[in-house]
Structure 1
Amino acid sequence: MNKLRSPTIIDVAREAGVSKSAVSRALLGQGDVSPETLERVLAAADLLGYVPNAMARGLVSQRTMTLGVVLRDSTTQFYGYLQAAMQRRAAKFGYEVVSVTGVDDLTVEDAQKALRSLIALRVDGLIVSSAQLPGEDLVRYAQRVPIVVAGRAEYAEGIVSVHCDEEDGGGQIAEHVVKLGHRNVAVLLMSSDESPNGYTRGQAMIRTLEASGVTVHVMELDAYRAPVGLAVMKTLADPAITALMCPSDITMVNVLEELRVQGIPIPGRLSVTGYDAFGTLAAPFFGFTSFRLPVEEIGTTAIDRVIELIEAGVTSEKRTAIPGVLVPGRTAAPPRR
């Protein structure tokens, strides 16, 4: 079977009854093209199923109007909501988004390969949301294409970042626990290598609790999907502990399930807090005590920053820390006396 030939700009010109240069100007939005000619060109392109070659268009305009996005884990809702926010914002500026996502997790090698592949596609800018890819690895690519890190603070030279103010978030939810009257609190602390954000917010929780005279019991998690059974058992083994603070809502759900299986009433015996509060888990039905991560604002601002770099060569702010909001719920209450 013969493969059908893709229509070219010459075919569009013939169908519309105009010159090739008129078609080029009309599709690129350049030069003086009458409304009638534009309408004929667009109608012909639609009829023939003509799709402009982004690579060729980029050679002419020096822009492909595409942004590359690298996301750590497509199975974690944060990255899905972040990608949706970025796509909506990019579309308003006329940009398309091409993304590469990990499944379960994106290794350093996979992330580096994704960066090289997106650069080869001549994207105008890159947004990276992967805790596994250190800023030092991004610096050499930043010399070739504008790069913004979304979701974590990045301090490498020449790299712009947009992230939640984790210090403020961890402090706010810890203050809430203190105000409820808890004086012995367990904190699940994420490894800094596994999750820089989780580690930062956890350390902020610990500092705030200790500054208020609370006895803090730190329990380390090696991974954000690590089993929580051992941490729960250690918490329950000490009757003085009345609250357990988790680094994410997903971790909190696992903790709550473990407590349900053991028949431990929440918050009667133990108050539990999370962190994220967006998407399905933020529904009032669950009533989680948590802290809302500003994922929509992070995605929108990341797009703004990378477009500033593309179009002006500079950005209005190198590091943008966006505040979140405390979400009181039914999973945390004053300790039972």
Structure 2
Amino acid sequence: MTGNRQAKAPTIIDIAREAGVSKSVVSRALLDQGGVNEDTRRRVAEVAERLGYVKNAMAQGLVAQRTHTIGVLVRNVTNPFYGHLQAALEERAAERGYRVVATTGTGAFELTQERLALRTLLSLRVEGLVVCSGLLAAADITPFVQQVPTVVAGRPELDPELGSVYCDEQDGAAQLAAHLTGLGHRRVAVLLVPLRLSITQYERGTAMIQELRAAGPEPVVVELDEHADSVPRAVHTLLARDAAESVTAVMCPSDHALLKAMETVQQRGLSVPGDVSLTGFDGVAPLATPVLGLTTLRQPVPEIGRRAVDLVLDRERPVDGDAPHLRLRGTLIAGRTTAPPPLHG
């Protein structure tokens, strides 16, 4: 009967019994604290190894008031951008001797779930928070700032109480707009994601609109909705217009949206970029492959992750109104999805 039972993990009480010392002596010995002679320390270590004792890092951290963990909220880990950003955060944290405790969604993360996730991370006594979400408003995050250093990574966030590291969306939009107008496009559409669905992509879209206007063309703005078929429907509508009025280029809010737009163009018997040029945004694997050759704005994801972790760890206590905002420049990738407009465009 006993063979079917799961073996109980050894505790410091078991070590104390085997080593013939008190529990407090075992605790001090394992934590390498004073008040324990070398022979006792060695005996405790030998018993712990023989019993297969594994330190409870979280409990140890609570005693020392340090857990060496950073809490990370990732809105949608299935999105390549967020997946790469989480990897960059974990890599930098490890370089600095910290672990990452992450809570992630898969695209259906509701606002209430994200708020609860932040409270859950804080309950684990993390020493800092990194929020990677295009939906959670600053007002939902700032209450945590006075408890632990908190940074938003991957989206423009200029709240004076909340640190942030992000790609310069305005500059990225300007690079893409200049690329299209430089090719000769004068009838350009922008697929705009509503603010209620994504703070990041909404600001990205408005930046595209502003930069196109500054360059000359008046953009055709198409607001998307929450339905999965919103990009194909929007592109169908744009391409159904008379040739004299139809757009010759479409600026998409992401590389994933670009692929959906490309499928729609091809379904209508048209070609990219022969009939219509398409641009995306993000520039991360797997969609960054030269096999696809997307014209996009590559975000500096490794640097965003590195700088976000450094901001969290280097700020012992947030000070009212002085939160740093690090704006990093992205890189235009001129691929095969853009070309000069057709002669009839």
Aligned twin of 2:118: 115
Q: Deviations over 1:34-74 (max 9, x none)?
A: 99999987776555442222343123211111111111112
Q: How many residues align?
A: 335
| 136-145 vs 89-98, greater mean Cα deviation | 136-145
1:179-200 deviation per Cα after TM superposition (whole angstroms, max 9, x unaligned)? 1111111111111221222122
**Between Structure 1 and Structure 2, whose CA radius of gyration is higher?**
2
Higher mean C-alpha displacement, 101-110 vs 315-324: 315-324
TM-score under structure 1 length normalisation: 0.88
Q: Note the 1:17-96 alignment, pairs <5 A.
A: 24=27, 27-28=30-31, 45=48, 48-96=51-99
Q: In 1, are the aligned partners of 2:193 and 2:205 still within 8 Å (CA)?
A: yes
CA shift, 1:16, in A, is 8.6
Tell me which of 4, 7, 13 is aligned to 1:4: 7
User: Structure 1 stretch 220-229 or stretch 275-284: which is displaced more?
Assistant: 220-229
Q: Which stretch of structure 1 is more off in the superposition, 254-263 or 138-147?
A: 138-147
Correspondence for 2:325: 319
1:255 aligns with 2:261: yes
Q: 1:274 touches 1:289 (CA, 8 Å); kept in 2?
A: yes
Aligned match of 1:129: 132
Deviation at 1:333, TM superposition (A): 0.5
SS at match of 1:215: coil
Match of 2:243 in 1: 239
Matching residue of 1:219:
222
CA separation of 1:177/1:41 partners in 2, compared to 1, >3 Å: closer, same or farther?
farther
Give the Å deviation of 1:299.
1.4
Relative distance call for 1:5 and 1:203 in structure 2 (3 A) is same
Identity of aligned residues (%): 48
Assess, with a 3 A threshold, how the Cα gap between structure 1 residues 223 and 62 changes in structure 2: closer, same or farther: same
Instruction: Measure, in 2, the Cα distance between the counterparts of 1:158 and 1:229.
Output: 39
Are the structure 2 counterparts of residues 149 and 276 from structure 1 closer, same or farther at C-alpha, using a change threshold of 3 Å? same
Of the candidates 278, 281, 287, which is equivalent to residue 275 of structure 1? 281
- Which letter maps to 2:253? P
8 Å CA contact 1:160, 1:319 repeated in 2:
yes
Most deviating of 212-221 and 236-245: 236-245
Consecutive unaligned residues in structure 2, runs of 5 or more: none
RMSD of aligned C-alpha atoms? Answer: 2.9
Q: In structure 1, what is the Cα distance between the partners aligned to 2:277 and 2:148? A: 47
Q: Secondary structure at the match of 2:230?
A: coil
Partners of 1:294 and 1:301 lie apart in 2 by: 11
How many angstroms apart in 1 are the aligned matches of 2:178 and 2:15?
65
Decide whether the 8 Å contact of 1:164 with 1:321 is kept in 2.
yes
Q: Is the 8 A contact 1:249 1:290 kept in 2?
A: yes
Contact 2:142 2:161 (8 Å CA) reproduced: yes
The one-letter amino acid of 1:303's match is V
TM-score (norm 2): 0.86
Would the aligned equivalents of 2:275 and 2:342 in 1 still touch at CA under 8 Å? Answer: yes
Structure 1, gaps ≥5 residues long: none
CA distance in 1, matches of 2:276, 2:80: 27
